[in-house]
Structure 1
Amino acid sequence: MAVIDLKVLRENPDAVRASQRARGEDPGLVDALAEADSARRAAISAADNLRAEQKSASKLVGKASPDERPALLAAAKELAEKVKAAEAAQLDAEQAYTAAHLAISNVIIDGVPAGGEDDFVVLDTVGEPPALENPKDHVELGESLGLFDMERGAKVSGSRFYFLTGPGALLQLGLFQLAVRTAVENGFTLMIPPVLVRPEIMAGTGFLGAHADEVYRVEADDLYLVGTSEVPLAGYHANEILDLSAGPLRYAGWSTCFRREAGSYGKDTRGIIRVHQFDKVEGFVYCRPEQAEAEHQRLLDWQRQMLAAIEVPYRVIDIAAGDLGSSAARKYDCEAWVPTQHTYRELTSTSNCTTFQARRLSVRYRDDSGKPQTAATLNGTLATTRWLVAILENHQQPDGSVRVPSALVPYVGTDVLAPR
């Protein structure tokens, strides 16, 4: 339920149409919104005029002589009916406008590739895939090393659940401690947010649109389980005016995340690549809109720093417009090499949501003249459970053990994970 800037729509509708086409979405929605905006403004004006007329008429009734009063009262009654009808028409126009506004995704940034899931552009490739003879996959490694237990996870909770056990739990906690340290050293405030949020917060971040079926809902309490701490962090400053005079506000949220994975039957059913519950450290930034693109690059640089620390080969891709999600104006993914799949798989995403989320959540800041303006928001992964897949598979050794990246050794307590 996030929304685009109406100023952009009014001043440059062609840019919004081009964005819709690049996303593979209907450019006709732009004209529908323009018409709904015009109809809403006309309805507001009509209702305002009638209310003003009604106010004047009621003053005349008060001043009228007994002879004049019946005719004036009859006219006032007729006006009251017109006002009631105009207010109903205004409400209908407001609802039509809101629906038309919510139907349009964020306007993409110039340079974003057009197309769908397979139309990304590779921006950089870092490191060489390891030369492994008959590599084991992360499930075989994890189970032989006592790092996780898929079978008992399924027994307790169903498919796509797991226990992280012993050194596997230490490996994840070490990874997250490293992410937290990286974040805090770079000016982020560490947050452990609630993972159940109200509908307006989930909607405000754009997660109840096309991907609403991915979200777990607790119906008895009308709350949603978050799929990323981006959601509570975006809601943290809802309906506030921020002080951004000293620069962007950066938060790092450590939370458990929940995803139904409704559209992924048969995909990545083995192991911990695509699961219903996982942990994540997520960077979230509030800044002035003109700072957003530079801040996006900084988020990407911090992600690269984390991937360098776990010593895995990876590539950076510029996601195509049709694969962005409604809130993002641009998104970069870092994908790590997974030896047994002979391909790169997503470990991090970072999105520039420009003013799209903040407009819906009413997050503003004061510009240099003191006037409130809509802030920009960005988000980016700094570590998640899925990273264990890349660590295990890339650092496996011929004897079935796994070398622990040196940056994680202090947290795990050993430099090699050996079979039990």
Structure 2
Amino acid sequence: MTEPAAPTPPPGCPAHRSPAPLYGPRFQTDPGQVYRELRAAHGPVAPVELAGGVPAWLVIGYRELQLVTSQPKLFGRDSSRWNAWSTIAADWPLLPMMTPVPSILYTEGTEHQRRSAAITDGLSSVDPYELKKYCEQVADRLIDEFAGRGEADLVAEYAHRMPLLVLCWMLGLDGAQVPTLIRALLDMLDGGAGAQQGAERLLAVMLELVEAKRAAPGADITSRLLVHPAALSEDEVMRDLRVLLIAGHQPTAYWIANALRLMLTDERFAASLSGGRRSVGQALTEALWEDTPTQNFAGRWATRDTRLGGRQIAAGDLLLLGFAGANSDPAVRQANGEAAEGNHAHLSFSHGEHRCPFPAQEAAEVIAATAIEVLLDRLPDLRLAVAEHALVWRPSPWVRALVALPVGFTPATTTTGGAFG
């Protein structure tokens, strides 16, 4: 059966003239428009270009993305099969997201199942009631640091720090390392000159953590991984913890910030700031559909020549998982282009055997929901301090993330008097 041809592009569509760059001011400001143009010009699988002129396929079809992530024998996770390695410079800024390292990210088959089971068990060991209680404590103490000022940047002072402090508690890390970890995470995910150094700093912190927990175990995920029946080596634990830290922090931090931006700028949520119409849960779900934190992910590599979405894919080609593009696929939207109320079928947590583990999804939702609920309870007249169009997005091909979210509010009293590092 022959696949249907890609749709005819509209006249003058810039995405049709050449592979669309997933970088630069246009993509940074309005990636949604880039995805729409790519879909019109190329259909569900579009040729794109990463920084440095590196080619890739961006999968923005909902059905096609499900297919790619559910057929590991055809679209593998091991990046060593990439057919472009001979052209990649040693200082390419996106290298940390592509280099095949012995972590859970690049494992396949039974090896992936072994390591994934250990991570899932480790996450499942976290008591949900203790997690909720600790999240509330973290939220209160962070808010105490700026409540009396009447103004704050909810990205740097709250959304970045909240999930990382909770993750430090879950992993057994010292919360005083949060500033160092945040800088390393941002350097790595922005894909700039410091990306490789950021990745190395994170690995060094994880090595210190593993050594410390081997010497003095505690009631934390790291200690449990070190004695798990999967018999992970210290190197495996170290590398998988880095994956857990990155995957747990950045998406959750920007989920919080993007949901808050929605609630502060969309009149449908205006009453929610004082306990009205639409709930925090609705804002979090809509943020995943409309501004999912992980926009694109690298990726999958074709194990042989094949066809996908009307495109000829060569063995070793890189396929980027376009979660944002797939979530906006008209095939899974209502006639008016909106996601159905209460629909949780988005692909923001990925799909298939490499999807975000369910205990991790649940923990992320607890962290994000608690962060917003406590904030709105403490500062009920929260308001955006700048015009919406003045908000700036990070220059990353991977995440949809605000640089800052400045707000104003009536100064409030503190509750705990404490402060985090």
Band the TM-score falls in, shorter-chain normalisation: under 0.3
* Structure with more contact order per residue of length (Cα contacts < 8 Å, sep ≥ 6): 2
Higher strand share: 1
Q: Which has the larger radius of gyration?
A: 1
The normalised TM-score by structure 2 is 0.24
Higher helix share: 2
**Normalising by the residue count of structure 1, what TM-score does the alignment of the two structures yield?**
0.24
